[in-house]
Structure 1
Amino acid sequence: MEHDKLVKLFQAEFELCKVTADESAIVLSSEKSQEGYAAAALQALLNLGTKAFELRTVTPPGRKEGSVGSTPVAENRVALDALKAADFVVDLVFLLHSAEQAEILEAGTRILLVVEPPSVLMRQLPTEELRLSVRRGAAKLRKARTLRVMSEAGTDLQMKIGDYPVIEQYGFTDEPGRWDHFPSAFLYTWPNEGETNGRVVLNKGDLVWPLNKYLDGAVTLTIEEGYIREIEGGADADMLRNAFESFNDPEAYAVAHMGWGVDPRSKFDALCSEPASVGNDSRSFAGNVQFSTGPNLEVGGTRATLGHFDMPMLGCTLLLDGQPVVLNGQTVENESANLK
């Protein structure tokens, strides 16, 4: 994308984030950031009158697929203190699931993750309508104490919820200490520790990220007391089993967040045409149900495992206290949901 168009796009996004001239901002980049993003983000911030600069880092050596929480600012107090002192941080390096991100947010800094390719950003600029849709779903999720997911493929997973907060992703960060990912439109929470049991059947066509693999056949995950105990199926099951084993960490098998997407603009199969994507189309896809594994640091937990997998699934039904919010892969909305 041309520099001027990218600047305009970033400026529109930062205005949604309520970035103002009396604020300070940092663009956090590395040699692996999307080409042109740092310069465009910095120019957009300067256009808004913001006191901004770029902080360029080096990607941690050895970071591999599925590796999260290993950041370029770990054990770098100078960089970390600078990020904590800023009002707004544009994250082009992926701080998510790290202790460093939690510390920055605790200081009141707003963080916006931007790692999707330009075509995805352009197609899915956040809207107020999507924010309201996310918030309506989040209001239901906060009230619920049980979550159940079922599918014709054989999924039947039950979890107790309520001990951890609900996360709303609507694509912009406009409140102190808030994180979001541009673009995104989904919501989720973590189950109570040890209180998830049942079976998840990943069906043909479902996605496993960050392997960026749409499955060729079914994979069955048996879950007991909050952990995956068995992974069964054909070649895709072998692939997933090997990916988990590569972390040599039992906490990688823990059930993490569970939720659903609400964006009708999203393309579930976007990775076929956008291989540089990090899969937010599939996560945001209206009616997908996302099953995830691994860390829970960002919601006050203690699991700092580097192993993390997101698995958006199609055709599922998700029940909160017995009431459907997703029915056979279609969202069920209630306009009167209390947003407080």
Structure 2
Amino acid sequence: MLPNRIEGKWIETFVNLFKASEISAGESVAILSETLSRKQNVELAELALHQIGARPFHVIIPTPRQSVDVVIRSTGATDALRGQEAALQALASADVVIDMTIEMLLHTPELPRILAGGARLLSVSNEHPEVFERIRYDPRWQARVIAGAEMLAHADVMRVTSDAGTDLTVRIDGAQPIGGWGNAAPPHNVGSAPGALIAFYPNSGTVNGRVVLNRGDINLTFKRYLENPVSLTVKDDYIIEIEGDSIDAELMRSYFSAWGDREAYAISHLGWGMTPGARWDSLIMYDRADVNGAELRAFAGNFLLSTGANEAAGRHTLGHFDIPMRGCTITLDNRTVVDRGVLQAPLAY
């Protein structure tokens, strides 16, 4: 486990992160955290904002009780603000909110109220600051992410294939792309860091086929590389069969079934990574407590398969998997955007 001290280089890292979101001198900036948030990052955020000349203040919420017996991970939807009316008002009054909650605000029902107050939001993933030092914001990300999102918006069908046996078809007409490029600079009011990716929530009844999770793909909910293939059969959005006799397959079957909820087996968001500096192999170098997995979701050319809640399809559940897959080919209609894990023009760097 890496030491939890403050390094001058990491103050500089956070200064650069916040400047990328055009946080400027005089702006009121709320640093939202939980009692169990990574205190090192919370302190770095305060020091960096002071260096910029912004006016930071803290909103610290006690980390909520576990609401169920199953371990909840990787949802992107913290419960910390539920019922916290005074905190919501304080956040909505700020110019900028730096979100340092453990699960983040990106998919919470409270986020629209914060944005309606005029604030913009930068969610900072619960990573050790060394991750932010390595995965530095790159202004080239934005144009490529926007280009990819526009390609998604104008396509009718996504197909994902791989040499391992994946063959998944998704009807994407009408789906709304979500593009993130590591900042929350105006006029884009919501961003997350570190890294860049493209994703969307498929509409109901649009996902069918077979996904073969191969050795070296990453189950981020478990923070674990797969050591053996696991095959998922998807019919009308739902995983109806999980094949494999390895511990990887057993763990997935156990976690899916633990929820007792059909919606946990459904497809959540799909997309691909757009960050050339991010490394798929970095997880092996860190203690699990040091990382939250943003780098793995964002490494260039991965196909990101997620299961669980899907607002576009009206599905809600706490069960969630994020699984970045390597070596996949992604086509939009007949245009290849990722070829066996490699970004293609105009998305390539």
Q: Mark yes or no: TM-score above 0.5.
A: yes
The Cα of 1:67 is off from its aligned counterpart by: 5.9
Give the 3-state SS of the residue equivalent to 1:191 in structure 2.
coil
Normalised by the length of structure 1, the TM-score is 0.92
Please, which of 95, 98, 112 is the counterpart of residue 108 of structure 2? 98
In the alignment, the residues of structure 2 paired with residue 157 and residue 103 of structure 1 have an alpha-carbon distance, to the nearest angstrom, of 37
In the alignment, the residues of structure 2 paired with residue 55 and residue 23 of structure 1 have an alpha-carbon distance, to the nearest angstrom, of 16
Give the 3-state SS of the residue equivalent to 1:238 in structure 2.
helix
Please, which of 76, 79, 83 is the counterpart of residue 75 of structure 1? 83
Q: Is the 8 A contact 2:202 2:313 kept in 1?
A: no
| Amino acid across the alignment from 1:2 | I
Match of 1:85 in 2: 93
Q: Is the 8 A contact 1:145 1:160 kept in 2?
A: yes
In the alignment, the residues of structure 2 paired with residue 291 and residue 134 of structure 1 have an alpha-carbon distance, to the nearest angstrom, of 18
In the alignment, the residues of structure 2 paired with residue 45 and residue 296 of structure 1 have an alpha-carbon distance, to the nearest angstrom, of 35
Match of 1:278 in 2: 292
Give the 3-state SS of the residue equivalent to 1:245 in structure 2.
helix
The Cα of 1:22 is off from its aligned counterpart by: 4.1
| Amino acid across the alignment from 2:331 | L
- Summarize deviations over 1:248-274 as a string: whole Å, max 9, x none: 222222211111112221110211112
Q: Is the 8 A contact 1:288 1:329 kept in 2?
A: yes
| Amino acid across the alignment from 2:230 | V
- Summarize deviations over 1:123-164 as a string: whole Å, max 9, x none: 011111122222222221121121110011111110111333
In the alignment, the residues of structure 2 paired with residue 107 and residue 333 of structure 1 have an alpha-carbon distance, to the nearest angstrom, of 39
Matched, 1:160 2:167: no
> Structure 1 residues 271 and 102 mapped into 2: Cα distance closer, same or farther (>3 Å)?
farther
The Cα of 1:113 is off from its aligned counterpart by: 1.7
Match of 2:149 in 1: 138
Matched, 1:4 2:4: no
Which has the higher mean CA deviation after the structures are superposed, 239-248 or 212-221? 239-248
Matched, 1:16 2:24: no
- Summarize deviations over 1:16-68 as a string: whole Å, max 9, x none: 10112343210011222223221221222233232320111111122734363
Q: Is the 8 A contact 1:108 1:177 kept in 2?
A: no
Please, which of 183, 198, 201 is the counterpart of residue 190 of structure 1? 201
Match of 1:291 in 2: 305
- Summarize deviations over 1:200-236 as a string: whole Å, max 9, x none: 1101110111111111111111111111111111221
| Amino acid across the alignment from 1:112 | L
- Summarize deviations over 1:258-296 as a string: whole Å, max 9, x none: 111122211102111123212122221111111111123
Matched, 1:208 2:215: no
Identical amino acids, percent of aligned pairs: 37
Q: Is the 8 A contact 2:74 2:322 kept in 1?
A: no
In the alignment, the residues of structure 2 paired with residue 49 and residue 157 of structure 1 have an alpha-carbon distance, to the nearest angstrom, of 49
Runs of 4 or more above 6 Å deviation: none
The Cα of 1:111 is off from its aligned counterpart by: 1.6
Matched, 1:174 2:185: yes
Give the 3-state SS of the residue equivalent to 1:164 in structure 2.
coil
Which has the higher mean CA deviation after the structures are superposed, 265-274 or 34-43? 34-43
The Cα of 1:172 is off from its aligned counterpart by: 0.9
Q: Is the 8 A contact 1:254 1:293 kept in 2?
A: yes
Please, which of 51, 73, 92 is the counterpart of residue 66 of structure 1? 73
In the alignment, the residues of structure 2 paired with residue 97 and residue 83 of structure 1 have an alpha-carbon distance, to the nearest angstrom, of 16
- Summarize deviations over 1:160-211 as a string: whole Å, max 9, x none: 1133321111111112563222111111112121111111110111011111
| Amino acid across the alignment from 1:57 | I
Flag structure 1 segments of 5+ consecutive residues without an equivalent: none
| Amino acid across the alignment from 2:303 | V
Match of 2:129 in 1: 118
The Cα of 1:239 is off from its aligned counterpart by: 0.4
In the alignment, the residues of structure 2 paired with residue 199 and residue 108 of structure 1 have an alpha-carbon distance, to the nearest angstrom, of 43
Q: Is the 8 A contact 2:328 2:340 kept in 1?
A: yes
Q: Is the 8 A contact 2:195 2:274 kept in 1?
A: no
Matched, 1:237 2:221: no
Give the 3-state SS of the residue equivalent to 2:283 in structure 1.
helix
In the alignment, the residues of structure 2 paired with residue 100 and residue 177 of structure 1 have an alpha-carbon distance, to the nearest angstrom, of 18
| Amino acid across the alignment from 1:296 | N
Q: Is the 8 A contact 1:109 1:177 kept in 2?
A: no
Q: Is the 8 A contact 1:208 1:311 kept in 2?
A: yes
Flag structure 2 segments of 5+ consecutive residues without an equivalent: none
Match of 2:326 in 1: 314
Which has the higher mean CA deviation after the structures are superposed, 250-259 or 40-49? 40-49
